[in-house]
């Protein structure tokens, strides 16, 4: 052996052995003339730095209070410091894997010589002689391998692999202390049953952290690392029997080395294996907050700040050990879940979905649906509450909830709350140019008549027209303020289609023909509660990386409309509970405003509303195809409904959710209407004009229990909210 190698090996090993013994000990495989080759190759035995990329580690999703709600991982691992590992675990792993770990250098010459002797007498490989350091190196090489070829090379039984392993081991021992190496090994080792690292294994096998492992449990895990696939307790009884045998071998070894007494070993061996098989922590499908989890997950996957490609972002999420703090409020989530489950069953064909958003921040406080997320029976495989970009479907037409945008546009143009016009029971555009989209193109349809129920025309103001949700009034109003201006208002308040396509700028825009999702609608209404400040929906408030570096995320807000216009809108919409389509349901015991929405022939039903503290939107429709499977003559939640309107199910869900979610939250009043700017209005028409006062909501008497109000947007109509051109009328509403 050359001088260079002799000095390096002797120095690192801390022992003086004959060159021949050293060379023979380096290679423990009896492969004929390999000993001669090894002798010649020892000149190359110099330290080589090992590249140690961060281990794949699970990322954890937390609620607003910092409690875990979900985990994302490619491999299940939780990295812990050595101080968080039970002493008995350290003792067990060293006893069975490398009992002279703290005594030898990077190469245990005594151990390798012993292994060589055994292998020669056995005529094969019966003992490996690898140190814990060498095993750590092997695990690093295996973990970082990305192709089948690389993995095979990391596992191959060859002189070249062994030599490289020794070079790397020498470098590792120069770089770290023994305790650091042991810590790294315990965190990288695979124990079987999908558990990587001692912390994950302790929880998976026994339901305890590594710091709480008992003697028998520690011996079990120490025995598993030699051949985790053959002793995987999650596979079969035979595997568990082999693991039990390995546990007892470890206990005997510990006793033989004097690490434990013979009595302690016997007592531990007398106990059963004790494998609990705690389920692996799942992703969103295993979370009690699956839809919110999906939304947060897609926030990261869609954001280039977390990686140039979606693949890179996914790897960061599943391997990066991130701690992700979110906006989820468990109490509010429970309120939404209970309100929905009370009225819509998981087995019902129609599904209900609800989102809660905080005004002034855009923080999503809850996302709930009548069906659980999953691939099983009566479950949904996509996000019912969100848009396509966040794992959702195409949503449902929001119906008359979009009339609010036309109301806002009118107020922005100077109309007062009591300004109005006389409208008929039907509306037909005077010409194609009566409505102009934002490209200047004609959007009117003079061939089509939009109707209310018979006799529902007459003189309507911004207030009474909104309270009664009169279709013909809002088409006249949209014609007056301009289709493009209405669309711009909707966009300013965050409105967009759930499928990501551009909003359809059609004559019936105000009647809600663009499919939307509850998160988007709730965020639009939250802006009204924040006096016109629109904030993008947000689910993540902070992310801490594996090194403890924390990044905070602030709300992305803008003043979308004049604060006083928002105040006037809230003033009008608050009357929906007392004089409008929700008067049969009532309010929530504090200042609130909102709007029902029922689509053409009851294809879908919505309610969206807000207070200064919280906004929510509820949708209900049939996923088999809302245009084909109407909400008429249906049984939902065990109750038969002749028809389902916005105030029938969605309204009560919203009401109960808000009352429970805001319990204990001090009431915040709306800013009063600026009467100098928005009060008063045009005088009503002379009495010889037909006013149909008996049809206005404020003249109607109280509703009987369980009786739905006769409201303009919730009676059978003709073509008031037709699908957009080229849209499928049937099929899944994805």
Q: Give residue-wise pLDDT tens across range 414-461.
A: 999 999 999 999 999 999 999 999 999 999 999 999 988 544 789 999
Percent of the chain's residues with pLDDT above 90: 72
The C-alpha atoms of residue 506 and residue 441 are separated, in whole angstroms, by 10
On the question of pLDDT at 176 being above 80, the answer is yes
The sign one gets for the Cα dihedral 446, 596, 712, 630 is positive
Confidence of residue 714 (pLDDT cuts 50, 70, 90): very low
DSSP string, 194-250: TEESHHHHHHHHHSS-GGG--HHHHHHHHHHSSSTTTS-TTT-HHHHHHHHHHHHHH
The H or E element spanning position 666 is none
- What's the confidence (pLDDT) of residue 6? 36
On the question of pLDDT at 10 being above 60, the answer is no
Of 200-209, 313-322, 697-706, least confident by mean pLDDT is 697-706
Rounded mean pLDDT, 584-588: 96
Top pLDDT among 194 and 161 is at 194
State the angle between helix axes of 109-122 and 19-26 in degrees (0 to 180), rounded to the nearest 10: 70
Rounded mean pLDDT, 670-697: 63
Rounded mean pLDDT, 154-173: 81
Of 376-380, 494-498, 726-730, least confident by mean pLDDT is 726-730
Domain boundaries, the chain: 1-46+99-174
Top pLDDT among 111 and 246 is at 246
Confidence of residue 43 (pLDDT cuts 50, 70, 90): low
The C-alpha atoms of residue 522 and residue 519 are separated, in whole angstroms, by 5
- What's the confidence (pLDDT) of residue 136? 95
The C-alpha atoms of residue 691 and residue 714 are separated, in whole angstroms, by 21
Q: Give residue-wise pLDDT tens across range 325-351.
A: 999 999 999 999 999 999 999 999 999
- Is residue 25 within 8 Å of 35, Cβ to Cβ? no
**620: number of CA atoms within 13 Å, CB side?**
35
The C-alpha atoms of residue 489 and residue 709 are separated, in whole angstroms, by 30
Q: Is 397 helix (H, G, I), strand (E, B) or coil?
A: coil
- Is residue 617 within 8 Å of 354, Cβ to Cβ? yes
- What's the confidence (pLDDT) of residue 107? 74
Q: Give residue-wise pLDDT tens across range 11-33.
A: 333 333 333 334 334 444 443 33
Q: Is 451 helix (H, G, I), strand (E, B) or coil?
A: strand
The C-alpha atoms of residue 111 and residue 352 are separated, in whole angstroms, by 67
Q: Which residues contact 317 (CB under 8 A, 6 or more apart)?
A: 59, 72, 297, 300, 301, 306
The sign one gets for the Cα dihedral 323, 327, 331, 333 is negative
On the question of pLDDT at 471 being above 70, the answer is yes
- What's the confidence (pLDDT) of residue 67? 96
- What's the confidence (pLDDT) of residue 377? 87
- What's the confidence (pLDDT) of residue 707? 33
The C-alpha atoms of residue 463 and residue 578 are separated, in whole angstroms, by 12
Confidence of residue 115 (pLDDT cuts 50, 70, 90): low
- What's the confidence (pLDDT) of residue 724? 37
- What's the confidence (pLDDT) of residue 118? 56
Q: Is 0.85 topped by the overall pTM? A: no
- What's the confidence (pLDDT) of residue 338? 98
Per DSSP (E only), the strands in 502-556 are 533-535, 540-544, 550-552
pLDDT, averaged across the chain:
85
Residue closest to 297 by CA, chosen among 69, 499, 32: 69
Q: Which residues contact 224 (CB under 8 A, 6 or more apart)?
A: 191, 192, 201, 231, 243, 246
Phi, psi at 472, each rounded to 5°: -65, -35
Phi, psi at 372, each rounded to 5°: -75, 155
- Secondary structure string (H, E, C) spanning 596-631: EEECHHHCEEEEEEECCCCEEEEEEEECCCCCCCCC
The C-alpha atoms of residue 558 and residue 207 are separated, in whole angstroms, by 48
Residue 383 pairs with which residues in a beta bridge?
392
| Strand pairing class (323-326; 59-62) | parallel
Q: What share of the chain is helix, strand, coil (3-state, %, to 5)?
A: 40, 15, 45
Confidence of residue 95 (pLDDT cuts 50, 70, 90): very high
Confidence of residue 499 (pLDDT cuts 50, 70, 90): very high
The sign one gets for the Cα dihedral 230, 233, 235, 237 is positive
Top pLDDT among 324 and 162 is at 324
Of 87-96, 164-173, 441-450, least confident by mean pLDDT is 164-173
- What's the confidence (pLDDT) of residue 19? 33
On the question of pLDDT at 540 being above 90, the answer is yes
- What's the confidence (pLDDT) of residue 161? 74
Of 79-88, 208-217, 450-459, 562-571, least confident by mean pLDDT is 450-459
Rounded mean pLDDT, 194-209: 96
């Amino acid at each position: 052996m050359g001088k260079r190698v002799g000095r390096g090996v002797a120095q690192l090993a801390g022992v003086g052995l004959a060159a021949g013994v050293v060379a023979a000990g380096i290679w423990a495989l009896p492969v004929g003339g390999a000993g001669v080759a090894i002798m010649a190759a020892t000149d190359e035995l110099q330290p080589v730095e090992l590249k140690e990329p961060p281990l794949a580690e699970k990322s954890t999703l937390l609620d607003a209070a910092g409690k875990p709600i979900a985990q994302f991982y490619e491999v299940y691992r939780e990295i812990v410091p050595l101080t968080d590992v039970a002493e008995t675990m350290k003792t067990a792993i060293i006893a069975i894997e490398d009992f002279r770990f703290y005594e030898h250098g990077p190469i245990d010459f005594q151990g390798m010589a012993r292994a060589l002797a055994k292998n020669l007498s056995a005529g094969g490989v019966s003992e490996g002689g690898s140190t814990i350091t060498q095993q750590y190196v092997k695990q690093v090489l295996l973990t970082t391998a990305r192709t089948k070829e690389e993995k095979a090379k990391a596992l191959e039984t060859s002189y070249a692999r062994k030599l490289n392993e020794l070079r790397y081991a020498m470098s590792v021992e120069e770089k770290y202390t023994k305790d650091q190496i042991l810590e790294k090994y315990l965190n990288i080792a695979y124990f079987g049953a999908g558990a990587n690292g001692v912390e994950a294994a302790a929880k998976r096998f026994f339901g305890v952290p590594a710091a709480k492992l008992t003697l028998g449990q520690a011996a079990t895990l120490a025995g598993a690392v030699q051949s985790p696939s053959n002793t995987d307790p999650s596979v079969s009884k035979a595997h568990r029997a082999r693991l039990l045998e390995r546990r007892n071998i470890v206990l005997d070894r510990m006793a033989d080395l004097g690490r434990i007494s013979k009595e302690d070993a016997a007592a531990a061996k007398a106990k059963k294996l004790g494998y609990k098989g705690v389920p692996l922590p799942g992703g969103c499908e295993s979370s009690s907050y699956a839809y919110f989890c999906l939304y947060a997950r897609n926030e990261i996957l869609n954001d280039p700040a977390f990686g140039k490609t979606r693949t890179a972002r996914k790897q960061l999420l599943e391997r990066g050990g991130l701690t992700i703090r979110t906006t989820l409020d468990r109490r509010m989530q429970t309120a939404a879940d209970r309100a929905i489950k009370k009225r819509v069953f998981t087995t019902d064909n129609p599904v209900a979905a609800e989102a809660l958003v905080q005004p002034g921040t855009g923080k999503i406080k809850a996302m709930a649906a009548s069906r659980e997320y999953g691939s099983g029976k009566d479950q949904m495989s996509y996000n019912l509450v969100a848009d396509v970009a966040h794992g959702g479907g195409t949503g449902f037409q929001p119906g008359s909830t979009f009339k609010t945008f036309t109301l806002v546009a009118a107020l922005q143009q100077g109309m007062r709350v009591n300004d109005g016009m006389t409208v008929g029971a039907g509306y037909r555009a005077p010409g194609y140019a009566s409505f102009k989209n934002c490209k200047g193109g004609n959007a009117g349809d003079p061939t089509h008549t939009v109707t209310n129920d018979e006799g529902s025309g007459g003189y309507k103001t911004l207030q009474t027209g909104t309270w009664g949700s009169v279709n013909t009034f809002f088409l006249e109003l949209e014609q007056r303020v301009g289709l493009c201006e209405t669309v711009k208002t909707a966009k300013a308040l965050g409105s967009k289609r759930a499928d990501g396509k551009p909003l359809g700028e059609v004559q019936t825009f105000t009647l809600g023909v663009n499919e939307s999702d509850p998160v988007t609608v709730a965020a639009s209404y939250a802006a009204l509660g924040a006096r016109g400040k629109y904030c993008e929906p947000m689910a993540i408030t902070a992310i801490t990386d594996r090194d403890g570096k924390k990044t905070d995320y602030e709300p992305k807000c803008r003043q979308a409309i004049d604060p006083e216009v928002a105040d006037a809108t809230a003033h009008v919409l608050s009357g929906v509970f007392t004089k409008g389509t929700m008067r049969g349901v009532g309010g929530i015991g504090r200042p609130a405003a909102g709007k029902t929405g029922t689509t053409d022939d009851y294809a879908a039903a919505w309610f969206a509303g807000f207070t200064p503290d919280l906004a929510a939107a509820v949708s209900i429709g049939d996923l088999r195809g809302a245009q084909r499977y109407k909400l008429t003559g249906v049984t939902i939640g065990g109750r038969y409904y002749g028809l389902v309107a916005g105030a029938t199910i969605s309204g009560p869900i919203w009401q109960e959710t808000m009352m429970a979610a805001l319990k204990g939250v001090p009431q915040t009043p709306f800013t009063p209407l600026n009467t100098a700017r928005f009060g008063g209005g045009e005088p009503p028409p002379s009495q010889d004009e037909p006013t149909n006062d008996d049809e206005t909501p404020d003249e109607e008497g109280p509703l009987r229990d369980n009786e739905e109000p006769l409201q303009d947007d919730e009676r059978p109509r003709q073509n008031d909210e037709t699908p957009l051109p080229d849209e499928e009328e049937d099929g899944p509403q994805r």
